[in-house]
Chains A and B, each alone.
Chain A
């Protein structure tokens, strides 16, 4: 079986997105498991700055050679920053999924974090998904 990297201290969603919390801000990205299953990523469509999003809604698109996938936000909020470097180098999501985030949101409801998984729960979830 493949080994998937999981970082401690992050929140994880069922759709293989991670959230790093810093006060009111949530930095979100896709997990190592997600990038591996997508395959070579060739295009990223980022959300508009100031856009408001509900938890679970699509905030962007990630395209690999073989597929087009929506990127969801695990938490509700408004976009305060995006990782513009992905427009020029989308493949960096494959190389370093936990360093290369998609966007930073100002959270509107921090209690949503309670519905997400911790690293241990997520590791067990990935094992089942394999």
Chain B
């Protein structure tokens, strides 16, 4: 298979990224090293090429009605320039994808979806479209995307930007801002647990924005790969499709009930999710910390006194906390903080403890 390249590919070559096949995209897993990049984002700032993410426009008179039916969150009452996160479910309550909805106007919304799900999502969205009053357009080819993340993100970006960044609140965006002289969509969002911005640029201008940030940022910012993106998101306990969410896992099981508005008159998956809530959850996503020696990883079995109770959805070593933590989806009867479980690592049973608040939270300003 021929790997797809993002518009920022020349930058990965220039900055000597270690390139891998990431779901069909040729992207850097690391530059300097995952742990070094992880720490840079927590202490200063890092930039990531996330151009592989998909973008979809939903337009038309019935756009809001359509989104409220398609997604589990409620988009009524959103301000222009506001962003809301939502799972997108099947009728049976399993998840098609999780995404961000950016409101440009009452008849125009911009959705950001997971790269590997782009085709599946767009097909699903089109299948759910009304005959009239709404149009769904895959606009992924029109955008490159750069994420600038870290406590110094604002101070680095401000001199390059014509807008007052301090005025952009978390989960808000500007439909048109200049960054390094280039027209961009600029949002205060991210996937690292730090403050930061995501910058959607025209593909041809992506490299110049990347270079402007690196040149201006100097030693306050470094290019980061997908390896650090994953350790950062997980250290901050942010879910990843295919791990914490999937077609066989509902948002309620994944602990995302606050994004499922069962008081809406109807939406795809409502019946199944309402039933699941009424009957009580069979499984829950829980945090755990290793007590014995070993690194927990996706797919490892979880046992309680030798009996299988679930599996690890994501896990690893986390540099900021210097701990080995994971998330597991286990039978609800065992889902209690403080409870001891066993993680099966290479056929050996290693002790771990379920907990709450084990993951990273940045200090509030």
Contact = CB atoms under 8 A, between A and B. Distances in A.
A65 B316 contact: yes
Contact of B227 (A65, A68, A87): A65
Nearest to B293: A87
B294 interface: yes
Contacts of B227: 39, 65-66
Please provide the 4 A-B residue pairs with the shortest distance between their CB atoms, ordered closest to farther: A42-B317, A40-B35, A65-B34, A43-B295
Contacts of B29: 66
B317 A39 contact: no
8 contacts: A39-B30, A39-B33, A39-B34, A40-B34, A45-B294, A65-B34, A65-B231, A68-B297
Interface of B: 29-30, 33-36, 227, 231, 293-295, 297, 316-317, 324, 346
A61 B346 contact: yes
Q: Is the interface of A mostly helix, strand, loop or mixed?
A: strand
B88 to A, nearest CB: 29
Nearest to A63: B295
Interface string A53-84: 00000000101011010000000000000000
Nearest to B30: A39
Contacts of B346: 45, 61
Contacts of A40: 33-36
Nearest to A61: B346
Nearest to A42: B317
A43 B343 CA distance: 16
B53 to A, nearest CB: 21
A17 B317 CA distance: 25
Given A43-B293, A65-B316, 8 more contacts: A42-B316, A43-B294, A45-B293, A45-B294, A61-B346, A65-B34, A65-B231, A65-B317
Interface string A85-111: 001000000000000000000000000
A66 B294 contact: no
B295 A42 contact: yes
A61 B348 CA distance: 13
B34 A66 contact: yes
Interface in A15-65: 39-40, 42-43, 45, 61, 63, 65
A87 B295 CA distance: 12
Interface in A106-123: none
A40 B322 CA distance: 13
